[in-house]
Structure 1
Amino acid sequence: MSSALAALYPQHLATVRERTDKALALGGFDHLVVAAGRPIVRFLDDNYYPFAVSPHFKHWLPLIDAPGSWIAYTPGKKPKLVFLQPRDYWHVVPEAPSGYWVEHFDIVVIREPAEAAAHLPDATRSAIIADDNVRLDGFAPSATAAVMDYLHFHRAFKTPYELALMRIASERGARGHRAAEAAFRAGKSELGIHMDYLGAVGQIDAELPYASIVGLNQHGSVLHYTNFDREPPRPSLSFLIDAGAGASGYASDITRTYASPQAQEFQALIDSVEAAQQSFCAQVKAGLDYARLHVHAHHVLAEVLREHGFIRMSAESAVASGVSAVFFPHGLGHGIGMQVHEVAGFQESEIGGFIKRPDGHPYLRLTRTLAPGMVVTIEPGIYFIDMLLAELKEKPEAKDIDWARVDAFRKYGGIRIEDDVVCTAGEPENLTRDAFGQVAA
């Protein structure tokens, strides 16, 4: 695979440089300076949180473990990597840069963080992208909105090189999900399932793009459940896992829901949600208003709720009254790439602006119109969340709810099914389904 990445990388770098040239011109800057970042010290401690490289840094090159390093770029010139390789016997020192990308950079190795300043361009003429803890005098963050808006807007459009890395991340994630399902079928605890997932993916928690959600039974109703019970429930009826993997800083984001053999009524509901989810994935095409797809998903899922006997109102009434949002309280999905929730999901154009969410849908993370190269998640769900159901019970719409049916499903928690889908000039590419097809069950 490295040879394929090597072939794709030059075009990717050319695209990044072209976008940067335009962003700098808009902002009136001569140079771009990007910090990899530094580890953050824990409060009242001398240990660090796990290091996470800046997305702007890893957009240029596949180097995700280079704290204290910098990239400097001047239009028309070869980009420079100022690489920190400290003298340190307490930690593993990063190896000297190598691989298919190094020939495209002028590389300077430094031993102390402060040495970087001597190898960077004039800070007063540079758009500096860095967080507040870079600890380099004179190089505080200075990139303006004009620069950031342009870069963030266009980051939604992935290059062939980026898509290749996302396919790798998807394959790793699918491998982990296969192992997690097997662990659930074997009766393991949430922690045991998660450990099997990590083993199959080949990454530790700190290397994953986000904290895994591994919920058995009613824990599936907690949207961001990350507790990891040490003992399995008796019986173990249902399982929701939302977990991804990384590849050179690019993410996959995958969710699956499973039922035990004794939970056939829940399996039937899973099947209906999956059919709906696949119909939404098929609509990921150029020109699609993602916010409209989200609202459409509410109507489809409301019909699923009606068909399975949870509500007695029409789908239109369920959406208009907010009942559908009780069972589906989050957004249909979001952009994905170097960040799990990719930036500029609401941005109107390359010069900024904001596309508001539909009324009554405060948690949607993406309102842009899709175009070729964009990658989005499609993750509808149906949940039985005690807090939201209690609130619904106090409303006039409560009369149109079959509460006995709802109560019978509380023990299952909820359902979410999520794929990562590429918008192309033609039919969508489902990275997740393709990856599961490549991984043996």
Structure 2
Amino acid sequence: MTAQRTPYHEHLDILRQRAGQALERGGFDHLIIAAGRPLRKFADDQDYPFAVNPGFKHWLPLLDAPGSWLVISPGQRPRLIFLQPHDYWHVVPAAPTGDWVEHFDIRIIRQPLEAEAELKALAPQAAILGAAADALPSVIPNNPPAVVAYLDYHRAYKTGYELERMRQASALGTAAHLAAQRAFRAGASELEIHLAYMAAAGQTEPELPYGNIICLNEHSAILHYTQLQKRAPAESRSMLIDAGASAAGYASDITRSHARDTDGEFQSLIEAVDAAERGFAAKVVAGQSYPDLHIHAHHVLAGVLRDHGILRMSPEAAVAQGVSAVFFPHGLGHLIGLQVHDVAGFAPSDHGGHQPPPEGHPYLRMTRGLEPGMVVTIEPGLYFIDMLLAELKTRPVAAQVDWARVEAFRPYGGVRIEDNVLCTESAPENMTRDAFARHLS
């Protein structure tokens, strides 16, 4: 009886095909990928938490494998050289298990240098991917640009297996967001909200795809605020939480804003940004230019500012004169997958290169057109950032701003709404909204 093919089977077939194309382009016979090693803290005897190299976990759901290596040779089974050291000081990684192991030839080693004997004969004809710290005496990462450019570019097109993992990450993240919202409503501090989030996600800080951004009140005006105050403020007016979860090495990246007063003006602003975000997510369709979608978002958000009495000028004028960028100073989003900010967002082709963002929008992290299989974040925001507002006040266009309205919103910091959206052959799939709907049904 023929074994039933799974999404993971299909995933490996696609990766093998991509690896073969990349090796042919670079003129190599083998692809060797380091799992990575823990990095030692400066002037210390302790390491930073280990994070596996993305190219390694692309092939198999093995995240705790420091010192291990993968060997991909066209026409052969992938080979895993797995380091399982003799060590009574630390937890030793368990021997690989799971349905995926049947697809690999696995060699267990006890010392990092044992990998040398397995790899050195292949190294002269190999593309070796890894950091300088991963090097063995005769196995030194060379990261050939032609190979890296090809693999990174095609990583944007997610396989069915990858999409399953990303939906799982979205489900974990949305459950944790709901727990964080309950903690906010109960008057918790930023740290307490963070702890409630991790408990609901079932993940520790090193397991999360990035450091949680949990902002109460004015802290929401700091785009990457991670201080986590231990005491709750006297009045919790608002919360912005930008936090994700991980599933087999794949990330979700979700942001929501909340107002204590659900009938007030800040809640109205949240609802307007939320409605705008849904509209942008609906445009994640094949052929859509991501930079054009970003510029479109500026026009819509400038309209939101005008509708809420903050700007007196037209959206077109606000965008043309750079006023919208004062309130929306970051990009609309980015590719997501094995990394939160996944690679090759600027690549014009699988030969590499760099297509810069539009002039005046330096923080946009993607300039590729949308294609089926891509998963991107859509994360518009409106903020009241003191340093940007102070600069705006010095310009003639400041007369087009109602500064009393700005002062009324400043204590809330800002709004950001973020979903993870799959571009398909037809209508987009909003992984985040779907996960929230399942949890709330």
State if a TM-score over 0.5 links the two structures: yes
Q: In the alignment, which residue of structure 1 is the partner of 2:28?
A: 29
* Structure 2 counterpart of 1:48, one-letter code: D
**2:110 equivalent in structure 1:** 111
Residues 1:48 and 2:47 are matched in the alignment: yes
Q: Deviations over 1:296-341 (max 9, x none)?
A: 0000000000010001010000001000000000000000000000
Deviation at 1:434? 0.8
Q: Does the 8 A contact of 2:245 with 2:252 survive in 1? A: yes
- Asked if 1 retains the 8 angstrom alpha-carbon contact of 2:294 and 2:331, the reply is yes
Q: Residues 132 and 263 (structure 1 numbering): CA distance in 2 closer, same or farther, change over 3 Å?
A: farther
Amino acid at match of 2:148: M
Q: How does 1:227-246 map to 2 (within 5 A)?
A: 227-246=227-246
Q: Helix, strand or coil: the match of 1:166?
A: helix
* 8 A Cα contact 1:238 1:263, kept in partner: no
Residue of structure 2 equivalent to 1:186: 186
2:398 maps to 1:401 = no
Which residue of 1 is the match for residue 75 of structure 2? 76
> In the alignment, residue 217 of structure 1 is paired with which amino acid?
N
Q: Deviations over 1:172-212 (max 9, x none)?
A: 00010000000000000000000000000000001000000
Q: What SS does structure 2 have at the residue aligned with 1:193?
A: helix
Which one-letter code corresponds to 1:388 in the other structure? L
Instruction: Pick closer, same or farther for the CA change 1:380–1:50 going to 2, 3 Å.
Output: same
AA aligned opposite 2:97: S
Q: Which moved more, 1:133-142 or 1:155-164?
A: 133-142
Q: Does 1:325 align with 2:325?
A: yes
Match of 2:342 in 1: 342
Q: Who is 1:213 aligned against?
A: 213
Distance 1:327 1:312 in 2: 14
Partner Cα distance (1:198, 1:102) in 2: 30
Contact 1:383 1:414 in 2 (8 A): yes
1:125 matched to which residue of 2? Answer: 125
* Alpha-carbon spacing, 1:167–1:262, altered in 2? closer, same or farther (3 Å): closer
Q: Structure 2 unaligned runs (5+)?
A: none
AA at the equivalent of 2:94: E
Q: CA deviation at 1:98?
A: 0.6
Q: Report SS of the residue matched to 2:113.
A: helix
CA distance in 1, matches of 2:26, 2:135: 24
Separation (CA, whole Å) in 2 of partners of 1:173 and 1:312: 38
Q: How far apart are the structure 2 equivalents of 1:78 and 1:329?
A: 48
Deviation at 1:218, TM superposition (A): 0.4
How many Å separate the matches in 1 of 2:329 and 2:24? 42
Asked if structure 2 preserves the Cα contact closer than 8 Å seen for 1:237 and 1:262, the reply is no
1:92-122 superposed Cα distances (whole Å, 9 cap, x missing partner):
0001001010000000000000000111242
When structure 1 is superposed on structure 2, of 48-57 and 115-124 the one drifting more is 115-124
Contact 2:134 2:141 in 1 (8 A): no
* CA drift at 1:143: 2.7
Counterpart for residue 199 of structure 1: 199
Offset at 1:234? 1.6
Q: How does 1:144-293 map to 2 (within 5 A)?
A: 144-261=144-261, 264-293=264-293
Q: 1:357: Cα distance to partner? A: 0.8
Query: Counterpart of 1:207 in structure 2: which amino acid?
Result: E
RMSD: 1.2
Distance (whole Å) between structure 1 residues aligned to residue 145 and residue 175 of structure 2: 40
Task: Write the deviation string for residues 272-302 of structure 1: whole angstroms up to 9, x where unpaired.
Answer: 0000000000000000100000000000000
Q: Could you tell me how far 1:262 is from its partner in structure 2?
A: 6.6
Query: Are 1:237 and 1:263, in contact at CA under 8 Å, matched by a contact in 2?
Result: no
C-alpha deviation, 1:235, in angstroms: 1.0
Shift, 1:383, TM fit: 0.2
1:438 is aligned to 438
Encode CA deviations 1:226-273: one digit per residue, 9 max, x unaligned. Answer: 000111112110000000000111000000000002771100000000
Q: Which runs of 5+ in 1 are unaligned?
A: none
- Name the residue aligned to 1:310: 310
Residues 1:387 and 2:387 aligned together: yes
Q: Point out 4+ residue stretches in structure 1 off by more than 2 angstroms.
A: none
* Separation (CA, whole Å) in 2 of partners of 1:53 and 1:147: 20
SS at match of 2:61: coil
Count of matched residue positions in the alignment of Structure 1 and Structure 2: 438
Structure 1 counterpart SS, 2:353: strand
Q: CA deviation at 1:50?
A: 0.5
Matched-pair contact (CA < 8 Å) for 1:220–1:414: yes
Q: For the structure 1 residues 262 and 294, does the alpha-carbon distance in structure 2 shift closer, same or farther, using more than 3 Å as the test?
A: closer
Q: Equivalents in 1 of 2:412, 2:160: separation in Å?
A: 40
Residue deviations 1:128-174, cap 9 Å, x none?
00111114111111131110110000000000000000000000000
Structure 2 distance, partners of 1:230, 1:52, is 27
Of stretches 337-346 and 349-358 in structure 1, the one that deviates more from structure 2 is 349-358
Aligned counterparts of 1:153 and 1:278: Cα–Cα separation in 2: 27
* Alpha-carbon contact 1:310-1:406 (below 8 Å) kept: yes
Query: Tell me, what secondary structure is at the counterpart of 1:405?
Result: helix
- Secondary structure at the residue paired with 1:147? helix
The offset of 1:352, in angstroms, is: 1.4
Identity level (%): 60
Separation (CA, whole Å) in 1 of partners of 2:9 and 2:230:
47
Asked if 2 retains the 8 angstrom alpha-carbon contact of 1:83 and 1:108, the reply is yes
Partner of 1:134: 134
Distance 2:362 2:434 in 1: 32
